[in-house]
Structure 1
């Protein structure tokens, strides 16, 4: 039995959740998100609480996933999401201008990334980058794309990493 799928979602004041066919729209103080939901999972809303139920026992995983997705949407329109990254390496720096992020991370050319719609990127210092938005998926995806430009390596620890990420260091070669 899906334990996550059975949990009730509390809808905060100022947030509206509407269903239109197979799409659910969540509107809140920070914005609006719309997502397709599988028709096998039943959506019931009453008195500021949302419950999900499934039509068959074969849809256990989908039951929990759809509930978690809607909970993330509600959280996003109320508080938003933020990922912080750190550039570690000599001469590594980031500059944000509008929705473009320019990274100088040891390549012969600067790498320019454009943030998707609804995601803002800020360079709080030369080596710190913050990605913010209301969609958990979009924020996480763009942060992963930034990290993929120069992933942290285990020998010197250089690269782009999440602030809370731990990189296990390895010992280098030893001579005889």
Structure 2
């Protein structure tokens, strides 16, 4: 079967991101057969980032609960201007500390990350959007709640900046 939309590591594979394709049987390639889609969506998660257009194989999946020891999931609630429009699960983002005091504190804090020319401080250079929660009214242009997968060592800095509403996300290109 083919994955039709990017799936982030640790994310359940949504049924609407699957398409049936015909491939030759080959015992060396562990393609996941279409007939197993029901158990796939209920029991398994992506072990790695799976780009759209990928033929799904067994090693891309895990039934292990939780995350790798070096990863954390952080929840963010962002206002308009703190995120690029159209964010979706699987997108890669830079997590920036954009608060008024970010430049001053970032230059004296080793935990804050690297300071950009704009005075914003990069907290995570490449994080994966794990899930985007759509508001009941469907309007994601003014506010957005989402979860991102970040290195565990950066999770404290991210959550501290997020709790004061001082986090911004920058969409970055994904590896092909």
TM range (shorter): 0.3 to 0.5
Point out the structure with max Rg over C-alpha: 1
- The higher relative CO (CA closer than 8 Å, separation ≥ 6) is in 2
Structure number with the higher strand fraction is 1
Give the TM-score taking structure 2 as reference length.
0.33
